[in-house]
Amino acid sequence: MEWLTLTIDGREVSVPKGSTVLDACRMNNIPIPTLCHAPELTSAGACRLCVVQIEGMRNLPPSCVTQAAQGMKVETQNPKVRSARKTILELLVANHPLDCMTCQKMGDCSLAEYAYEYGVTGEVYHGAKRDLPIDNGNPFILRDPNKCILCGKCIRACSEIQGKSILDFSFRGFDTQVGPAFNLPYNESDCDFCGSCVSVCPVGALVEKKMVGKGRPWEVSKVQTTCPFCGVGCNFDLNVKDGKVIGVTSNPDAPVNGKALCVKGRFGMDMIYSENRVTTPLIRKDGVLVPAEWDEALDLIASKLGEIKNTYGPNSIGALSSAHCTNEENYLMQKFMRAVIGTNNVDHCART
Amino acid sequence: MGGACCCENLVDPKQIELDEIINKHKYDNGPLIPILQGAQEVYGYLPAHVIKHISKAIRIPVARIYGVVTFYAQFRLTPVGRNLINICLGTACHVRGGAKIVETIEKELKIKDGATTEDGRFTLEVIACIGACGLAPVISINNEVHGRLSPDKIAGILAKYE
Amino acid sequence: MAGLATSFGSGAMTNSINEIPNTKVMFVIGSNATEAHPVIGTKMKQALAKGAKLIVADPREINLAECSDIWMRLRPGTDIPLINGIMNIIIANGWEDRAFIEERTEGFEKLRESVQKFPPEVVSKITGVPVEQLVEAARIYATAECAEIFYTLGITEHTCGTDNVMSLANLAMLTGNIGKESSGVNPLRGQNNVQGACDMGALPNVYTGYQSVTNPEARAKFEEAWGVSLDPNPGFMIPDMFDAAVSKNLRALYVLGEDPVITDADANHVRKGLQALDFLVVQEIFMSETAKLADVVLPGASYAEKTGTFTNTERRVQMVNQAIKPIGNARIDGDIICDLATRMGYPFVYSSSAEVMEEIAKLTPSFAGITHERLGTQGLQWPVPNSEHPGTKFLHEGKFTRGKGVFVPIEHQLPGEQPDEEYPLLLSTGRKLSLYNVFTQSSEALVSHSPEELAEVNPLDGKKLGLEDGEVVKVASRRGELETKIKLTERVPEGMVFMTLHYDEAPTNVLTNGAYDKVTKTYEYKVCGIKISKLNK
Amino acid sequence: MAENQRILVCAGTGCASSGALPIIDILIDEIKRQGLEETVSVVGTGCQGFCEKGPTLVIEPQQILYTRVKGEDVAEIIEQELVKGERVERLLLVDQETQKPVSSMADINFFAKQHRIVLHNCGVIDPKKIEDYTAREGYKAIEKALKEMSPEDALEEVKKSGLRGRGGAGFPTGLKWGFCRATPSDKKYIICNADEGDPGAFMDRSVLEGDPHSVIEGMLIGAYAIGADEGYIYCRAEYPLAIKHLGIAIKQAEEAGYLGDNILGSGFNFHLKVFEGAGAFVCGEETALMASIEGKRGMPRVRPPFPAVSGLWGKPTNVNNVETWSNVPHILRKGAEWYTQFGTEKSKGTKIFALTGKVNNTGLVEVPMGTTLREIIFDIGDGIQGGKKFKAVQIGGPSGGCLPEDMLDLAVDYDTLTQAGAMVGSGGLVIMDETTCMVDIARYFLNFTKKESCGKCTPCREGTTRMYEILDRITKGEGKEEDLDTLENLALTIKETSLCALGQSAPNPILATLKYFRHEYEAHIRDHKCPAHNCSALLSYTIDAEKCKMCSLCAKNCPVNCITGDKKTNTPYVIDEDKCIKCGTCMDKCKFGAVTRA
């Protein structure tokens, strides 16, 4: 691999050829604010927040789409750069609701984070603000177009990750919006609710509806796990607060799927708390299933199976193992049948 | 219901024309804008069912087409009135009082830029330049140019169009 | 998996999911990936965006058909003549990969002979696919730099499922589209851990890692490890179990996390079998239809409540990590089994599921290098023969598991049940995107999004029967009947009805045929004769 | 009576709007009636440039110009001019200085001071006839290139000519071609940018309407030099006549073997299509233009990669505008050396300007680079209308700037204008007099750019709207002292951080007016006055009862009926301030000076 050496804020760094200036900064822990950049998506160079000053280049080029070059001299924090970024943030904030206190995204909002860092007041510009209807018509995604900063990541996620292109920009200039065709609500579009758009939104424009009001990012612990809903084996993070799963978020390091998920994986987790869950052992007594203690239930099974085995032989007992359970449990089940009961009568529903 | 119905085979002559346009451009590189232009010629505007039909025919997502349609000034999502007024607000027209012409017409017709009067008589569009800068300020109604205007001439000109 | 095992020597997806975006040609047959395997569907879309070609063979106008280059709307159950026809065209045009056939395979001459009987015109007549489409599909697939075949239950859930799979294996070997990156034959597994349940030996004929119970060496290894003597004969497969229950050869059944009353074909027969048992134990997280018949119901734990591993369709063993304690009085399923074994006099003593995995790794060559610690956040794709091995991205590179790949000539067979005068419509079953088997019925969000069964009926059939869109009708087969709402749509061809198996209120499997594939005994869910009649109000 | 005379009637969009088309028909009828059809022919030409005086016609070979011709004048012109050989004096142009009619074009400053290279055929030939074009050396340049020159030679010649892109930024054309030529690829495209969107510029339209073959020939040469075999002309749909003439010209060129495969037996192939733009100013930016051809929203993308490396459908692509392409055949035919005699050291050749606004002779003028603004405005343009005082000239449209009187002697070329805070841009020259408010002009341009911003990048999308809002407040008298700092800071950020040239140049009208006319801003903010008496919110009209004769003319002409009064009841005429739109009609109409403005 070919390496390039460049100077960033007076520090010499080496990066592989083909890196952008942003890559170079991030590899060396030099902070650059970005809103429209996502490593898994193509770069748009649209938000302009990542601008830097580069010797010999006119204007302030955006680092996310500027290729690093040998000998380049980059400044990421000088007053001119910081002032430009601050102005851009003021512009965004001027057209953004300031209901941060009640916003689901609080604590995880990139705009809020940068606005804070750059001392944005929200009082420099006064004028028109978007006033568009909130899309609340589906059970999964809450879309507030007034909070949208038009970074376009959701559009690219829908197209590049999901291959659907349910979302796109419409109109232009200050009137630009993001939404499904005809700016209809999601549930009147062909949306599959994979939620990829939600997973990349840097602000509170797209949030998981079921998680609203359930917990703040800093109260939540995340547990990576494997999705139980099909054979693809997507990974995601279960969001846990006070011993309760409150939702699912993408884990960008998931080996199979990255940030992509489908509607089941992302929004089907509430089945854990279904009213249909069996939460205590049940034993049929007088034809009716009634609650029982574990000891009673397990002893009953042990004695019944022992009895049948003794009377009719081990091959009169069978088991259906589960394509939903873990490998370890399946192993235990077949070991139980083969070693404890003494039969090969073990199968599971879908062998194909 | 529009043209999305598949149950009855009512043959709509506009639909046939639209399909001809689609087939003409379908295999070109970048067929979308010429097809939309053709469709607008046929329908006078771009109804939702036409956009959906085009989407299916050339496999471009509806949202993307909607994005294109709303991006370009030429495309309309609503029918145009019987008479289309284009008010030029090119620089030459502006410095020669174009804004006053806009104001006068808006007051006269009680509609804003881009709207159509309730009776469907006029649609008003402010455009960047007709290219008749020598005659500034100018408007065109149904492509007929009226130049060297002043606010007091407006009422008389509009009266000529039913 | 038996089909691929015969042809290649091992039965699993030969490529990795993340090879899909780089492939040049995708041939998707009997798989509605965008709904059943949504994230694989997205990878296919990514390949399309990079310019890959897509060939779809499916009677329904599934979403992938809409974005395909060629959509072959074949008649249900005619997969074998279709593939044979395509191979006929490939050989006739000299598009086969001679070098690959020479070096890597055997039995080509027999295959060549057998596909002689499938000239394009004949195949076109049988399948209903125009000759030009067959030729174009053959050309695109055979001449591709790399090409992946994808199939799921649309191929395997037939009486000739195994043959269907071997046909596809023949096609891949004929063109050399196998054993390379982004090139191979890929069965997409339906349930989250079908692959794992098979790998772990939850099958009547094999131990873990497909070590045969009839193989004395393998048996000896397990006998030594477990300290017991083991039965040398294979046990009952599922359909046999219900028959055996009815004939009283099976007295007790222990069902772990399955709902055969809903998911198995010919549900009435299944129910009869279960009711004939002396003793039924169901270990489940929901009060399923099967649980309602049990003598004892044990509350198990959901995926969020346990630690262990799942193996996905690309053989990747991945961690499931416990996030919360089991709900209520429920217990982790593995713990329940251990407890029961101990109570029956064979102590299962494991301090954690990681320790269970250590035992698996010791007994299973393809898992030898797997530990929970190594799996970490990225998992490993088996075979992982030792603790340094990085896992296996794609199978059959340079050499098939069985040595040479074998061409198995396949003859066309008709489905077990065809529509006839009495039951003139053909029923096919499958999945809906937002739902998954019977599991997701317990997610309020998902159910509210897709609240009820909507049987798809072609508008022409609707017209013939005087049915309205959205009407509730009676659907009947030789085995049972149910009521369901219908949707008139051209997604299904005339004469075909499509239903899902997600809803208790419309338990589709009371209709389906209990006939099964001769090798794997997989039910023929995909084809059966039905009739639709209006409800009398 | 002269033999074989031609009557050239301007049928460009400007004159057509003034009623030129019926005149052609009447002329033909009248000539027949007079039995002159053997010796006199009528030609509908492209723009002759003198839009202000349209409809215009020229009698050849005498070169007599008639202006503001009406249908009823035709018989008289034919009778006088063609039969008797005498002038129709009342239809001749009147020299503003001498107040005498001028008949010969050679004596008219408007024409005499121009130097027409690109407009060489405009207004002289019938653009619908390829033979008119070939009769004036048309397609000789491509013949020469194909027969005598290698592609490298052709490229070298254009490089030597010093031709720079006429679309605005003035990038050296030969250099640009060279980049595209140097990128290896199986397919390359060239594009003619005819999406002339600057309000007040119409030179490209005039060339396409009046001399379409020159553009085609220029593109042929470019394609040959670059190694492209397919081209597009991206033309605004608002230019129907240009699209029509291009369509005819392409068909004729194909039939004549100048377009298609194996052109003139050379083995060189080139196919050309017209793409109708759908109305978006930003599509003048080359990456947005290509997105538009690809059927996408016309949103610019980040460069690099430059189009020369990855352009239309990812292939190397070269984009030049109409005027640039149209220069090329002349350069090849007459040689780079000939071309370099025109213009300044760094800006060679001529430039066409659209002269509009408050100038006497509005129209299209082509002058050598380096001509001063004063020459253009006062000699060719004949000074300010109505004897008012010159205040500023706006150059380069929404991307350009306004220059004040003391810069009138600036020699116009790319570099001097950029230094002065304006730019050549597409070449619109809008002349402003003492009644033009410079804050309002800045507001006008920002209103334009905010509407035309594609919305992709934050500074342009949000910033142009905020700048407009601030300017709008200032023109309404609601400005604050700190607004000027806010404006300046915002303008500089937008300039330095926007994605494309539209955003980067959008603040220019503000920065230039702030630089040269800051006092006007301050007057609005501090005194709540518009020095030009233009901003309606800061104006009020009143009727001086003492001077008012109650003639009712003001009330009758008021477009919003806000003036009431009655002579019979001796009710004085008054203006209802709430209803008044401050259009000034009453003041214009009053013969007694009774209406005053404050």
Residue range C109-131, pLDDT digits in tens: 998 998 998 999 999 998 999 99
How much is the pLDDT for C167?
86
Is it the case that residue C444 has pLDDT exceeding 80? no
Within a domain: D67: yes
Cis amide prior to D316 (ω within 30 degrees):
no
Find the closest chain A residue to D460 by CA distance. A173
One domain, residues D51 and D108: yes
Give the distance from residue D350's alpha carbon to the nearest chain A alpha carbon, in angstroms. 29
Output the pLDDT for position B3: 39
Instruction: Reply yes or no on whether the pLDDT at D3 is more than 70.
Output: no
Q: What is the mean pLDDT of residues D53-77?
A: 90
Q: What's residue C435's pLDDT?
A: 55
Of A117, A80, A149, whose CA–CA distance to D495 is shortest?
A: A80
Tell me which of B132 and D236 has the higher pLDDT: D236
Classify domain B83-159 at the CATH class level: alpha beta
Cis before C347? omega within 30: no
Q: Among the three residues D394, D410, D433, which one is the final residue of a domain in this structure?
A: D433
Average pLDDT, chain A: 94
CB-based contact D121:D131 (threshold 8 Å): no
Q: Are A25 and A32 in contact (CB under 8 A)?
A: yes
Positive or negative: CA dihedral D457, D461, D462, D468: positive
Q: How far is CA A192 from CA A189, C34, C35, C429, in A?
A: 9, 10, 9, 20
How close is the nearest chain A Cα to the Cα of C243, in Å?
12
pLDDT single digits (tens) C211-243: 999 999 999 999 999 999 999 999 998 888 999
Q: Which helix (H) or strand (E) holds C350?
A: none
pLDDT band at C370 (very low <50, low <70, confident <90, very high): very high
C46 near A CB under 8 A: yes
In a domain, D504, yes or no: yes
For residue C199, CA distances in Å to A333, A351, C352, C360 come to 13, 10, 20, 10
- A176 vs D455, D486, D489: nearest CB: D455
Q: Which of D67, D82, D112 is the last residue of a domain?
A: D112
CA–CA gap between residue D401 and residue D397 (Å, rounded)? 7
pLDDT over 50 at A182, yes or no = yes
Task: Indicate the pTM of the whole model.
Answer: 0.90
Secondary structure element (H or E) that encloses residue B145, with its range: strand B144-146
What is the C-alpha separation between D212 and D218, in angstroms, rounded? 10
Tell me which of A286-300, C462-476, D97-111 is least confident: D97-111
pLDDT of C523 strictly over 70: no
Q: Does D498 contact chain A (CB < 8 Å)? A: yes
| D490 interfaces chain A, CB cutoff of 8 Å | yes
- The reply to whether residue D356 touches residue B136, judged by beta carbons under 8 angstroms, is yes
Determine which of A208-212, B9-13, C131-135, D556-560 has the lowest per-residue pLDDT on average: B9-13
- Does residue D121 form part of some domain? no
Whether B63 and A171 lie within 8 Å, measured CB to CB: no
Q: Look up tokens 């003639």; give the residue.
A: D551
Number of domains in chain D: 5
- The percent of chain D in helix, strand and coil, each rounded to the nearest 5, is 45, 15, 40
In the chain, the amino acid numbered D495 is K
| Residues A35-87: tens digit of each pLDDT | 999 999 999 999 999 999 999 998 999 999 999 999 999 999 999 999 999 99
Q: Cα separation of C403 and C393, whole Å?
A: 19
Domains in chain C, CATH or no CATH each: 2-188 (3.40.228.10), 194-381 (3.40.50.740), 425-534 (2.40.40.20)
Q: What is the predicted pLDDT for the residue at D303? A: 86
**Beta carbons within 8 Å of B118's beta carbon, 6+ residues apart:** none
- C125 by Cβ neighbours in 10 Å (0-12 / 13-18 / 19+) ranks as exposed
Q: What is the CATH number of the domain that holds D474?
A: 1.20.1440.230
pLDDT tens digits, residue range D306-357?
999 999 999 999 999 999 999 999 999 999 999 999 999 999 999 999 998 8
pLDDT recorded at residue B7? 43
* Residues D66 and D41 both lie in one domain: yes
Tell me: do D506 and D593 sit in the same domain: no
The per-residue pLDDT for B1 is 38
What does the pLDDT average to over D388-401?
A: 90
Residues of chain B with Cβ-Cβ distance to D294 below 8 Å are: 29-30
Count of CA atoms in the C-beta half-sphere (13 A) of D383: 7
* CB atoms inside a 10 Å sphere around CB B6: 10
* CA dist., res. D121 & res. D47, Å (int): 10
Please determine, for residue B9, whether its predicted confidence score (pLDDT) is greater than 60.
no
Q: Are B37 and D276 inside 8 Å of each other by CB?
A: yes
Cβ D466–A94 below 8 Å, yes or no?
yes
Which residues 74-133 of B have a C-beta within 8 angstroms of D? 74-75, 89-97, 100, 103-104, 107-108, 127-133
In the block, residue with structure tokens 């604010």: A33
In this structure, are D91 and D238 located in the same domain? no
Which amino acid type is present at position D549?
K
Q: What amino acid is encoded at D269 in this protein?
A: N
- The secondary structure element, H or E, covering residue A241 is strand A235-241
Nearest to C157 by CA among C486, C427, C531, C502: C427
D24 has a pLDDT exceeding 70: yes
Grouping H, G, I as helix, E, B as strand and the rest as coil, residue D390 is strand
The CA distance from C332 to C498, in Å, is 37
3-state helix, strand, coil in chain B (%, to 5): 50, 10, 40
| B59:C490 CB<8 A | no
Q: Residues 444..483 of C with a Cβ closer than 8 Å to B: which? A: 459
C319 touches chain A (CB under 8 A): yes
Reported as a pLDDT band with limits 50, 70 and 90, residue C148 is very high
- Looking at the predicted structure, is the pLDDT value of residue C528 above 90? no
Report the interhelical angle of C161-175 vs C79-92 (nearest 10°): 20
A3 burial (CB, 10 Å; 0-12 / 13-18 / 19+) is exposed
Backbone φ and ψ of D558, nearest 5° = -65, 120
Question: Mean pLDDT, to the nearest integer, of B11-20?
Answer: 89
Which pLDDT value is given to residue C30? 84
Q: Half-sphere exposure of residue D426, counting CA atoms within 13 Å on the CB side?
A: 27
Q: Give the tokens for residue C506.
A: 């419309």
Which chains form contacts with chain D, at 3 or more CB pairs under 8 Å? A, B
Q: Are residues D397 and D458 in the same domain?
A: no
With beta carbons less than 8 A apart as the criterion, state whether B141 and B105 touch.
no
Task: Tell me the β-bridge partners of A51.
Answer: A62
How large a percentage of chain D has pLDDT more than 70? 99
**A15/D contact by beta carbon, under 8 A:** no
Domain encompassing residue D329: 129-340
Q: What pLDDT shows up at residue C11?
A: 66
The answer to whether the CB atoms of D497 and A59 lie below 8 A apart is yes
Residue A289 has φ and ψ, to the nearest 5°, of: -80, 120
Average pLDDT rounded to a whole number, residues C252-265:
85
Interface test with B, best of A143, A150, A182 (most B CBs within 10 A): A182
Q: How confident is the model at residue D1 (pLDDT cuts 50, 70, 90)?
A: very low
Predicted local distance difference test score (pLDDT) of residue C534:
85
| pLDDT score for C2 | 57
Q: Report yes or no on D221 lying in a domain.
A: yes
D122 is a domain residue: no
Q: In chain B, where are the structural domains located?
A: 7-71, 83-159
Q: What DSSP state is assigned to residue C283?
A: E
pLDDT in tens, D206-254: 999 999 999 999 999 999 999 999 999 999 888 888 999 999 999 999 9
Given a cut of 50, whether residue B5 has pLDDT beyond it is: no
- In Å, how far are A54, A79, A148, D258 from A35, measured between CA atoms? 21, 20, 11, 51
DSSP-based three-state secondary structure for C467: coil
Residues of B in contact with D583 (CB under 8 A): 97, 100, 103-104, 150-151
Mean pLDDT of D101-127: 89
**Domains and their CATH numbers in chain A:** 3-77 (3.10.20.740), 216-276 (2.20.25.90), 282-348 (no CATH)
Asked whether residue D533 is domain-assigned, the answer is no
Among chain B residues, CA nearest to D199 = B90
C338 vs D546: CA distance, rounded Å: 112
D542-554: b or e for each residue (b if 16 or more CB lie within 10 Å)?
A: ebeeeebebeebb
Residues 306-345 of A with CB under 8 A from C: 306, 308, 311-312, 314-340, 342-345
Helices (DSSP H) in D101-139: which residue ranges? 109-112, 130-135
- Phi and psi dihedrals of C343, rounded to 5? -65, -25
**In the predicted structure, residue D594 carries a pLDDT above the cut 50:** yes
* Chain C residues within 8 A of B52 when measuring between CB atoms: none
Q: Is A137's Cβ below 8 Å from some Cβ in C?
A: no
Mean pLDDT of chain D: 92
pLDDT (mean) for C324-345: 95
| Burial of residue A55 (number of CB atoms within 10 Å: 0-12, 13-18, 19+) | exposed
Instruction: Report the range of poorest mean pLDDT among C424-433, D35-44, D356-365.
Output: C424-433
Q: Which CATH number characterizes residue D568's domain? A: 3.30.70.20
Residues 6+ apart with CB under 8 A from C35: C41, C62, C63, C430, C431, C432, C433
Q: Which residues contact C62 (CB under 8 A, 6 or more apart)?
A: C32, C34, C35, C56, C491
D272 in contact with chain B, both atoms CB, cutoff 8 A: no
Quickly count: other Cβ atoms within 10 Å of residue C522's Cβ.
25
List pLDDT tens digits, range A214-273.
999 999 999 999 999 888 999 999 999 999 999 999 999 999 999 999 998 999 888 899
D263 and D394 co-located in one domain: no
pLDDT of residue D12: 84
ipTM of the complex: 0.90
CB contact under 8 A, C459 and B59: no
Is the Cα torsion angle D241, D242, D248, D249 positive or negative in sign?
A: positive
As a whole number of angstroms, the distance between CA C54 and CA C21 comes to 12
Q: From the CB coordinates, do chains D and C have 3 or more pairs under 8 Å?
A: no
Token representation of residue D232: 């597009």
Query: How many residues does this entry show for chain C?
Result: 537
pLDDT at D560 over 50: yes
Distance (Å) from the C-alpha of residue B52 to the closest C-alpha of chain C? 14
pLDDT of residue D238: 81
**Average pLDDT score over chain B:** 88
CA neighbor of C371 nearest in space, from C305, C309, C303 = C309
Residues of A in contact with C379 (CB under 8 A): 233, 255
Q: How far is it, in rounded angstroms, from Cα D562 to Cα D556? A: 10
State yes or no: pLDDT of C436 exceeds 70.
no
- Compute the average pLDDT of residues C448-463: 84
What is the pLDDT, as a whole number, of residue C503?
65
> Are the beta carbons of B64 and A165 separated by less than 8 Å?
yes
Instruction: Find the closest chain B residue to A167 by CA distance.
Output: B63
D465 to A84: CB separation less than 8 angstroms, yes or no: no
- List pLDDT tens digits, range A274-315: 888 999 999 999 999 999 999 999 999 999 999 999 999 999
Subunits that touch chain A (at least 3 Cβ pairs < 8 angstroms)?
Answer: B, C, D
Q: In the block, which residue shows the tokens 């965008």?
A: C34
Percentage of chain D with pLDDT > 90?
66
Bridge partners (DSSP) of residue A237 are: A224, A249
